[in-house]
């Protein structure tokens, strides 16, 4: 496991270094130069092709895992991820691929994994739902495709600040590693170690200074791998509750569902209409009051990076109980409901300017 982790880390670190060192050669295509958009919070153009180091690190880790474990399905899993990764990467380079085609690409990727690896949702831990899934294959296919695509898209939604989605993903993979250890699924555990190594190699350049962004390619790749590894964990290990991975990813998933509700029913806008009202953006604007008003790049970058730990803490509130009660469906369902209610309460407190004083972070420009 250590060899796989270190190899993935090395390749992600090295490729990230090369991309940043020679950014002047590709910045015309790869740099995120739009610093004024409603959903942009960086201060200067930054390469947004961090998905490339993540993919290279993951490829190296999966190759070693397949060699050491004498199985080749991790490479088939990586092959399935290609449509989701490249759709995002093309958007990062051309800025011309909309949300719908990117989401559709994750559906295609999920279908590939279903065919190549039998990675499907065949049970939900609910008797009536399990009966339907066992009788109607097309329901299982549809549910799997939508679930995997939804998680991948949700990880892209929360990819807004330095280190935010990367550390959340690492939390999730660590929880999956723990459960893989409990059920003795060594190969799946090794893929998770490869993912953590690849993400850490990217995060070295992303947090806290924001020298590189994951972009849509990185976000969709990480989200797809979280979803597919979760599906495979359930398929390969009947003792694991299907609600374990759902509780692990409930933060990005509910963020997405809440955003759809907010735009469609509260604002009367199209679901895909961009705004700056995600929870992480509200925390940035109303909780992290660090050097507000300063236009210095270092102050803007610091404030960007100081936002992420709030969401790391929020994510851990779901990941930790998921890890502790990984085989208890009833308890996991209860924690899902508790998280949803807690999220809504936190969001309303921030919107109504009732955030507790201990949560607010202040530093004046003149100090």
Known binding residues for Mg(2+): 156, 216
Single out the residue of 347, 351, 132 nearest to residue 254, CA to CA. 347
Point out the annotated binding site: 156, 216
Sign of CA dihedral 121, 74, 325, 149: negative
Contact 235, 190 (CB under 8 A): no
Which single residue is written with the structure tokens 């999956």?
Answer: 176
The H helix count followed by the E strand count for the chain is 15, 4
Residue 342 CB neighbours (<10 A)? 13
DSSP 277: -
47, β-bridge pairs: 31
Sign of CA dihedral 286, 291, 293, 294: negative
DSSP 81-93: HHHHHHHHHHHHH
**Cα distances (angstroms) measured from residue 196 to each of 52, 130, 190, 316, 350:** 15, 32, 10, 16, 32
Q: How far apart are CA 314 and CA 229, in angstroms?
A: 22
Helix axes 73-94, 51-69, angle to 10 degrees: 170
Q: How far apart are CA 333 and CA 247, in angstroms?
A: 8
Strands 31-32 and 46-47: antiparallel
**Cα distances (angstroms) measured from residue 9 to each of 16, 204, 270:** 11, 10, 40
Q: How far apart are CA 311 and CA 313, in angstroms?
A: 5
290, β-bridge pairs: 363
Q: Please report the beta strands in 314-360, taking only residues with DSSP state E, as ranges in sequence order.
A: none
């Amino acid at each position: 496991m250590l060899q796989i982790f270190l190899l993935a880390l090395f390749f992600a670190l090295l490729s990230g270094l090369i991309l940043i060192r020679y950014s002047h050669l590709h910045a015309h295509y790869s740099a995120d130069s739009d610093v004024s958009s409603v959903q942009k919070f960086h201060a200067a153009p930054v390469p947004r092709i961090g998905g490339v180091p993540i993919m290279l690190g993951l490829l190296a880790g999966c190759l070693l895992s397949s060699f050491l474990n004498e199985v080749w399905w991790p490479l088939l899993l990586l092959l399935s991820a290609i449509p989701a990764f490249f759709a995002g990467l093309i958007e990062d380079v051309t800025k011309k691929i909309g949300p719908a085609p990117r989401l559709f690409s994750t559906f295609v990727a999920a279908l590939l994994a279903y065919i190549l690896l039998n990675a499907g949702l065949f049970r939900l831990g609910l008797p009536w739902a399990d009966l339907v899934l066992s009788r109607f294959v097309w329901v299982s296919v549809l549910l799997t495709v939508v679930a995997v695509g939804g998680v991948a898209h949700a990880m892209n939604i929360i990819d807004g600040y330095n280190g935010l989605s990367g550390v959340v993903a690492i939390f999730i993979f660590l929880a999956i590693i723990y459960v893989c250890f409990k059920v003795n699924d060594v190969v799946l555990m090794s893929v998770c170690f490869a993912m953590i190594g690849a993400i850490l190699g990217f995060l070295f350049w992303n947090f806290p200074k924001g020298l590189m962004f994951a972009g849509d390619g990185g976000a969709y790749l990480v989200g797809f791998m979280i979803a597919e590894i979760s599906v495979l964990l359930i398929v390969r290990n009947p003792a694991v509750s299907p609600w374990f991975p759902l509780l692990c990813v409930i933060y990005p998933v509910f963020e997405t569902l809440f955003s759809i509700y907010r735009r469609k029913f509260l604002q009367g806008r199209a679901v895909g209409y961009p705004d700056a009202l995600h929870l992480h953006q509200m925390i940035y604007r109303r909780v992290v009051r660090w050097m507000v008003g300063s236009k210095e790049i270092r102050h803007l970058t610091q404030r960007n990076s100081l936002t992420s730990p709030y969401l790391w803490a929020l994510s851990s509130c779901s990941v930790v109980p998921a890890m502790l009660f990984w085989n208890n469906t009833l308890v996991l369902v209860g924690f899902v409901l508790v998280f949803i209610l807690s999220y809504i309460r936190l969001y309303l407190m921030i919107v109504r300017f009732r955030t507790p004083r201990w949560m607010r972070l202040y530093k004046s420009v003149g100090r």
